[in-house]
Amino acid sequence: MQIESTALPGVLIFTPRRYGDHRGFFAESYNRLRMAEAGIGIEFVQDNHSLSEAVGTIRGLHFQAPPHTQDKLVRCGRGAFLDVAVDIRRGSPSYGRWVAAELSFENARQMLIPSGFAHGFVTLTPQAEIVYKCSDYYAPETEGAIRWNDPRIGIDWGLPEGTTPVVSDRDAGAPWLSEIDSPFTYEGPLPWEVAR
């Protein structure tokens, strides 16, 4: 498995190796031992799978607050999408900054999004499937969100000119970053940042 850093410290890209022949391919999409060797001791407890029918569907920016924070390992089951992480840890040197990576069935890339980062994505193909692991269970009472088009964050969602994004009412009405009291505090580099 190849591991790459991103412009946001703590957010990583994983690319599992695929072994292919005339039948197709085999790949280990997750290996706890390989993660531990890279300094990542996250225990994942829940897998989620979502389907977005239309190109330009935006979901996010979402997070779960303490005591049910979630680290996420996100990959694409079918199609392609642009995955986005935003640092919302108060006091972080990268507070309010974002990073994005295209994840697709073809490229097999995965994004590790630590707790303390808001997460969102936009679909680049019809019927895009998003599959992700979480380090804590879904706890609706701790859910939070930030407006996907917050100008202070300034995410380039990569949508073609004139494309109207498909957004839920909840996401369309989410607060701006300046309107939330972030439940996350920067506590220094994450263990895998130090290990790298």
CA-CA distance, 54 to 47, in Å (whole number)? Answer: 23
What's the CA angle centered on 26, arms 15 and 125, to 5 degrees?
A: 60
- Predicted confidence at residue 114, as pLDDT, reads 97
Token look-up 């790459």 returns 4
- Predicted confidence at residue 80, as pLDDT, reads 97
CA-CA distance, 45 to 26, in Å (whole number)? Answer: 24
Low-confidence ranges of the chain (pLDDT < 70): 195-196
- Predicted confidence at residue 18, as pLDDT, reads 85
Tens of pLDDT along 125-154?
999 999 999 999 999 999 999 999 999 999
Question: Which of 26, 28, 125, 19 is CA-nearest to residue 73?
Answer: 28
Tens of pLDDT along 146-181?
999 999 999 999 987 888 999 999 999 999 999 999
Told to judge if 22 belongs to the known catalytic residues of this protein, a careful annotator would answer no
- Phi first, then psi, for residue 9 (nearest 5°) are -55, 135
- Predicted confidence at residue 191, as pLDDT, reads 86
pTM: 0.94
Domain ranges for the chain: 44-183
Told to judge if 186 belongs to the known catalytic residues of this protein, a careful annotator would answer no
Catalytic residue among 22, 68, 119, 132: 132
CATH no., domain 44-183: 2.60.120.10
Coil, strand or helix at 94: coil
Catalytic residue among 22, 30, 62, 137: 62
The DSSP bridge partners found for residue 18 are 27
